[in-house]
């Protein structure tokens, strides 16, 4: 009898799990249930589509990414009976499984003061393509927009609305932009850029209430009252675990699904991957929510292989991230300096600027790098970067080294490719490493 693998959700985690389950077990029956009416969408490009830089139609795909799977779209999984190994759909039909993979993703978080207004026709969250289409439609003909939250989604949506010509105000609970992923001094550069581009950033100023007004929405904070034509709530995401709870699956302290290194939940035969899952931070050992496609892909791979009879392992994440804001890219990996302190490390850091290519090469640009290491061991802990160039290669280098528990000396000894058109031989990452080595030498001399 063929093994029946059922997957709920076809985002990055679900589509990856389906592909690897089929690769691992060609004879397995792999069935996917997806609530969307179409199999595939590309959420990371929704802000660009809001700005009109890419068509919303290009963010949807009508065919699954893998051949040989059964795709059920336009249906929601309503309940799991783990003892009978069945999933009930919202139309009352039952699907049987031998192994089940939950890739249910996440849902937008709405702060308590805004829950009553969240269903208003001029108030939006951004999760799927249809959400983006609604925001763009509302923005056309509007004059002022309010964005709640200065995280990655909030700033990317603010950028899109600003490019449409709107007056944009971003309200943030914390005292900096991109809290939790940038240290304060790196965030200042982002805040300066937003100001230059005409985005009004209100830090340490959460929205205390919002209500309908004749012009759209009236927003209240402790410092001001403001009318806006539309409001986008971008206050983060929460794991979507409601289906998992129907099976009695154990959740972690962060509200995500608990899994082991094989991505199996507390209920045998049920796996989970993606935004709904709590992962382990490789540097701290603590649980974290890493709601990025790179994490979902690797978790989905492991879940798919193991549901099909394999024995792959997922050890954890360093939460690499990268976003584009106007003329600058911002990203990082590992721990910020503040996070390193909280984790019990003794961090030392530097922040430098260096050219990504030789100065005589057209397009040569300055990149800002903050590098963090542990003073006692020299172990690499994290990097934060900003600049108008492709930062992924620097982030990937640091990510690979941290996973191997490399030290600052290992980074200095790393030989990278050089070609003037593409890269400086004295890279921004190497410049930061040398500056940090000099700082550590000075600190050692004083002790």
Asked if 4-43+57-105+238-307 and 329-446 have one fold, the answer is no
Give the mean pLDDT of 263-292. 98
Measured at the CA of 355, the angle between CA 353 and CA 356, to 5 degrees, comes to 120
Q: What is the DSSP string of 275-340?
A: TTB-EEBTTT--EE---SHHHHHHHHHHHHHHHTT-------B---EEEEETTEEEEEEE--HHHH
Whole-prediction pTM: 0.95
pLDDT digits (tens, 9 = 90+) for 67-110: 999 999 999 999 999 999 999 999 999 999 999 999 999 999 99
Q: Are 148 and 161 in contact (CB under 8 A)?
A: no
Query: Which residues are part of the catalytic machinery?
Result: 44
Neighbouring residues of 47: CB distance < 8 A, sequence distance ≥ 6 = 126, 132, 153, 156, 157, 159, 160
Q: Are 171 and 158 in contact (CB under 8 A)?
A: no
Pick the CATH number of 4-43+57-105+238-307 from 3.40.50.300, 3.50.50.60, 2.60.40.10, 1.10.3720.10: 3.50.50.60
Task: Work out the burial of residue 97: count CB atoms within 10 Å of its CB; fewer than 13 is exposed, 13-18 middle, 19 or more buried.
Answer: buried
Give the mean pLDDT of 180-206. 98
What are the extents of the domains in the chain?
4-43+57-105+238-307, 112-233, 329-446
Which CATH topology does 329-446 take?
Enolase-like; domain 1 (3.30.390)
In three-state secondary structure terms, 65 is coil
The alpha carbon of 345 is separated from its chain's Cα centroid by a whole number of angstroms, namely 25
pLDDT digits (tens, 9 = 90+) for 161-191: 999 999 999 999 999 999 999 999 999 999 9
What pLDDT score was predicted for residue 297?
98
User: Which of 247, 272, 261 has the alpha carbon at shortest distance from 17?
Assistant: 272
């Amino acid at each position: 009898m063929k093994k029946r693998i059922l997957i709920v959700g076809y985002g990055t985690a679900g589509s990856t799990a389906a592909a690897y389950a089929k690769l691992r077990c060609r004879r397995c029956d792999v069935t996917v249930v997806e609530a969307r009416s179409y199999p595939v969408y590309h959420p990371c490009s929704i802000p660009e589509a809001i700005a009109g830089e890419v068509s919303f139609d290009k963010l949807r795909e009508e065919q699954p990414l893998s051949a040989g799977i059964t795709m059920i779209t336009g249906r929601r999984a309503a309940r799991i009976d783990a003892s009978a190994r069945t999933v009930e759909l919202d139309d009352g039909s039952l699907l049987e499984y031998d192994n089940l993979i939950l890739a249910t993703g996440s849902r937008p978080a709405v702060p308590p003061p805004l829950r009553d207004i969240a269903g208003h026709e001029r108030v939006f969250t951004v999760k799927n393509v249809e959400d983006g289409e609604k925001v763009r439609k509302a923005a056309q003909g509007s004059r002022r927009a309010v964005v709640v939250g200065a995280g990655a989604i909030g700033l990317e949506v603010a950028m899109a609305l600003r490019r449409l010509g709107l007056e944009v105000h971003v309200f943030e609970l914390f005292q900096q932009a991109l809290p939790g992923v940038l240290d304060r001094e790196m965030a200042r550069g982002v805040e300066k850029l937003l100001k230059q581009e005409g985005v009004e950033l209100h830090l340490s100023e959460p929205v205390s209430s919002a209500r309908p007004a004749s012009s759209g929405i009236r927003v209240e904070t402790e410092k001001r009252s403001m009318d806006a034509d539309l409001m986008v709530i971008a206050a983060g995401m929460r794991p979507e675990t409601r289906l998992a709870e129907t099976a009695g699956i154990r959740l972690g302290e962060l509200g995500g699904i608990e899994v082991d290194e094989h991505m199996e939940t507390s209920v045998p035969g049920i796996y989970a991957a993606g935004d709904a899952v709590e992962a382990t931070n490789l540097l701290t050992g603590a649980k974290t929510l890493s709601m990025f496609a790179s994490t979902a892909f690797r978790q989905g791979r492991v879940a798919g292989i193991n549901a099909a009879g394999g024995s792959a392992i997922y050890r954890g994440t360093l939460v690499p991230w990268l976003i584009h804001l106007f003329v600058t890219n911002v990203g990082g990996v590992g721990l910020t300096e503040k996070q390193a302190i909280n984790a019990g490390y003794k961090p030392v850091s530097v922040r430098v600027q260096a050219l990504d290519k030789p100065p005589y090469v057209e397009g040569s640009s300055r990149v800002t790098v903050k590098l963090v290491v542990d003073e006692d061991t020299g172990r690499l802990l994290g990097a934060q970067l900003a600049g108008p160039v492709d930062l992924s290669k620097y982030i990937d280098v640091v990510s690979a080294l941290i996973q191997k528990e490399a030290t600052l000396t290992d980074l200095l000894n790393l030989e990278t490719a050089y070609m003037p058109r593409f890269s400086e031989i004295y890279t921004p990452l190497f410049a930061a490493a040398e500056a940090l080595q000099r700082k550590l030498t000075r600190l050692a001399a004083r002790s």
